[in-house]
Amino acid sequence: MFEEIRSHSEFQAFVLEQLQTHYSGTSILRLVPSDWCVIKKFWLTDLSRTAQLLQSQYSHRGCKAKDPANLLRSYLLMLSVKQPSVTKWVDDLRRIPLYAILSGFEPGQTPGVGSFYDFFTRLWALETPHVTNKKKPKRRKPKKGKKGEKAPTTTPGKVDRFVKRLLKYPPRQQKLPFDHLQSLFKEQFVLLSAQMGLLGDIHALRAAGDGTPVQTSAYPRSKPLCSCRKQGIYSCNCPRLYSQPDCDSGWDSARERYFNGYHLYMLTAADSFHDLPLYPRLHRGSRHDSVSLLFSIDEFVRQYPEFTWDTILLDSAHDALPIYRYLQSKHIMPFIDLNPRNSGNTKYKDDFTLSPAGIPICKKGLEMKNNGYDHARGRRKYRCPLVKNGVVTCDTPCSNSAYGRCVYTYTKDNPRLFPPIARDSDEWKETYKRRTTVERSNKREKIDYMLEAAKHRSTKMWTIRIYGIMMCQHMDAWYEESEIELKSLLFSA
């Protein structure tokens, strides 16, 4: 099945031998200080289980395949040195002995382009590189968002209908095209980071979620399948053949312009001080964050039965009452910022109204004072804001009680406005400030690792690239945590 399968210790021995042969003594090759960072990362990264995890993807007959661990290691090295092209990377392997050695190949015996793309095909569970059919109706651009805001969902009430359907008909477990990639990422990276304590408490996991646009081309490429142009009709709505059927046009709120590509929804470990990613999901560019989250929740819980999801931190794009109810059904505590689009006082119980933050307002127009949360009854108590030293100082009191008027808000009535942890509390602020871990993680993927620099044309290759970059992020964290002095170890003799 395979030519040779190395253990990690055997790989380290191979690297030691090759570096001492080609980069020490009388050799004309020399290592510069920046090389040691890359050498240390791959010295620490154990990929020896790759062949075992991908065993079902290889035949017992025919020519023996190269060790998939070497191909995966080489691809991660390609991403680490910011090379976006596989074809150019094959040339780099032949030109630079260090890259061949760290990949696990002897200099002069490196694989060609076909070996890499054959390996990529084994990582993808579908026969086609796309998830959907190339033939689709003519697409329209989504509605723009307001300045600094994400575009609204394309259909009013879409999130509410989707949540009701999920609660009534829980999705059945099904295989996903990227299951093999997810298995490699989970078994050799995420679980190891969890053992090292880099993800926080996985039995009370706090995750942060957010979406980011991934531009794959300047404009959608398609060709007509009809003969309307010959008949003088130049603006028809007939189906077209798209080269990237899983992509479409979306609104980039950060750059305030349209883009063509994917919407990448990412879940990260909020308690990770290395901002480590946990689960990515590619959607078409026009999909809204709130819809993407619902897909990710179910898939993440199924992919990580070892984790107990306790809390999720989300931005105001997810501020919809159905989202809160769905998270409640999954026993996940939501920390979601209020969306200014939903601002304004609302009527609540008789003559009281609520502020945009969900705080009762008395007849004098003052916000009532928070007097604590009763977890047994699921309610928060608010008292008169004009009570001083036990005496009501209001000239028009709402109650005959000496204590003043009290109002109770129940979480079950509106979990969006009445969360168990008040938004103006220190506990909320201390917890919610970790939400930006997902934004920093997305920044690392898109800027530090140049996610959008590739010229891929399929969901298969974009998914592989995203998972590879996430693996590199975990390798970076291991590198920062390690105190091993590799240079003296390798060249001590």
- Give the CATH number, domain containing residue 299: 3.30.420.10
Given 56, 89, 122, which residue is the final one in a domain? 122
Residue 453 has pLDDT above 70, yes or no: yes
Asked if residue 191 and residue 153 are part of one domain, the reply reads yes
Q: CB-hemisphere CA count at 13 Å for 147? A: 0
Asked if residue 219 and residue 144 are part of one domain, the reply reads yes
Given 122, 149, 169, which residue is the final one in a domain? 122
Q: Tokens 């240079």, residue?
A: 487
Please give the average per-residue pLDDT across 307-330, as a whole number. Answer: 94
Asked if residue 212 and residue 282 are part of one domain, the reply reads yes
Greatest pairwise CA separation for the chain in angstroms:
96
57 within some domain:
yes
87 within some domain:
yes
Quick: pLDDT tens for 258-313. 899 999 999 999 999 999 999 999 999 989 999 999 999 999 999 999 999 999 99
Tokens linked to 160: 């509410």
Q: What is the CA radius of gyration of the chain?
A: 28
379 within some domain:
yes
Amino acid 215 reads Q
Q: E strands of 77-175, at which residues?
A: 135-136
Beta-ladder partners of 224: 240
Residue 346 has pLDDT above 80, yes or no: no
Tokens linked to 10: 């055997």
Asked if residue 288 and residue 273 are part of one domain, the reply reads yes
485 within some domain:
no
Please give the C-alpha separations between residue 150 and each of 11, 147, 154, 294, in angstroms, as whole numbers: 47, 8, 12, 17
Asked if residue 211 and residue 71 are part of one domain, the reply reads no
Q: Which residues of 127-142 are buried (b: 16+ CB within 10 A; e: fewer)?
A: eebbbeeeeeeebeeb
Asked if residue 459 and residue 323 are part of one domain, the reply reads yes
Reduced to 3 states (helix: H, G, I; strand: E, B; else coil), residue 78 is helix
Quick: pLDDT tens for 66-115. 899 999 999 999 999 999 999 999 999 999 999 999 999 999 999 999 99
Beta-ladder partners of 382: 370, 407
Asked if residue 319 and residue 214 are part of one domain, the reply reads yes
488 within some domain:
no
Asked if residue 396 and residue 326 are part of one domain, the reply reads no
Burial class (CB in 10 A: 0-12, 13-18, 19+), 219: exposed
Q: CA triplet 92, 93, 95: central angle to 5 degrees?
A: 60
Contacts with 182 (C-beta within 8 Å, 6 or more apart), sequence order = 176, 279, 303, 467
Q: CA-to-CA distance for 354 and 341, rounded, in angstroms? A: 16
Number of domains in the chain: 3
Asked if residue 331 and residue 209 are part of one domain, the reply reads yes
Q: CA-to-CA distance for 479 and 450, rounded, in angstroms? A: 20
Domain span holding position 26? 8-122
129 within some domain:
no
Asked if residue 258 and residue 174 are part of one domain, the reply reads yes
Main-chain phi, psi angles of 381, to 5 degrees: -105, 130
Residue 414 has pLDDT above 60, yes or no: yes
Quick: pLDDT tens for 369-399. 888 899 899 999 988 888 887 778 887 787 7
Quick: pLDDT tens for 10-36. 999 999 999 988 988 778 888 888 999
Of 31-40, 48-57, 413-422, 433-442, the poorest mean pLDDT is in 413-422
322 within some domain:
yes
Contacts with 453 (C-beta within 8 Å, 6 or more apart), sequence order = 82, 84
Asked if residue 393 and residue 462 are part of one domain, the reply reads no
Res. 343 pLDDT band, cuts 50 70 90 = low
491 within some domain:
no
Instruction: Evaluate whether 203 touches 219 at the Cβ level (below 8 Å).
Output: no
Reduced to 3 states (helix: H, G, I; strand: E, B; else coil), residue 326 is helix
Res. 146 pLDDT band, cuts 50 70 90 = low
Please give the C-alpha separations between residue 83 and each of 68, 90, 100, 119, 460, in angstroms, as whole numbers: 20, 10, 14, 18, 18
Pairing of strands 406-410, 379-383: antiparallel
Contacts with 99 (C-beta within 8 Å, 6 or more apart), sequence order = 74, 77, 81, 92, 93
Asked if residue 365 and residue 283 are part of one domain, the reply reads no
Q: What is the mean pLDDT of the chain?
A: 90
Given 66, 100, 122, which residue is the final one in a domain? 122
> Which pLDDT value is given to residue 348?
66
